[in-house]
Amino acid sequence: FILTTIVSATVSAENREFMEGVTGLIAVVLMFTVGAWLHKKSNVESWNLFIRESVGSAIAKGSLWSLAGVAFITVVREGAETIIFYMGIISDISMASFFTGLGVAVLILVVLGVAILYFSVKVPVRALFLGITVLIYYLAFKFTGESLHALQVVDKLPAHTISGLPEANFLGIYPTWETTIAQAVLLAMIVLQTVRTKKNNESASEQTSSKEVAQ
């Protein structure tokens, strides 16, 4: 809200494009990191182990603040990508649309929260985390193209056109080598991270199965 109202009113259009480009690239780094972490924890055993170890460590220390810190981390991981998502879209929509969407989201969360607490609905951790991960990676891909394009618009980054490449705003794809190569590199990193996480999860599952058989 501050960036789109106060800052936008005090800086020139060129500087605003530059700020959006830089902020977008920072958001991409954060989204890739959060997305990779969520994908890693999409394995139910991995997430449960993370929670047990964190809570167990806090209880062992006998610190109320440690336990509160664990609770805070488990919640803020969901809020981090939400804030980044808002950063990416707030410059492209009206404040009325923003607050309408925010209100609808809060209502949905309240309904889900009540259902989980009072009707014992089991949350599908794997499906939830994978869904959020896909959304975050999509936004990271889109923001990469849009942020670099914003820097090209203000001549902070060169732009070499690719003949025949169509423009797709919903994916942040622009017909320049700079944006295309950057998005290709990001996509390759996402694929490598996904493959590595899958192998690690499979290895962890095999170790767990072996321990259960031995017991």
pLDDT score for 107: 94
Q: Is 80 left (phi over 0), alpha (psi -120 to 50) or beta?
A: alpha
The residues that bridge with 176 in the sheet, in sequence order, are 161
- The arithmetic mean of pLDDT across residues 124-131, rounded, is 74
CA angle, residues 209, 213, 215, in degrees to nearest 5: 115
The pLDDT, as a whole number, for residue 63 is 61
Mean pLDDT, rounded, for 181-188: 94
Q: How far apart are CA 206 and CA 201, in angstroms?
A: 9
Whole-number average pLDDT of the chain = 75
Mean pLDDT score, 57-78:
63
Residue 204 has which token pair?
């962890």
Each residue of 136-171: pLDDT tens digit? Answer: 888 889 888 888 888 888 888 888 988 888 888 888
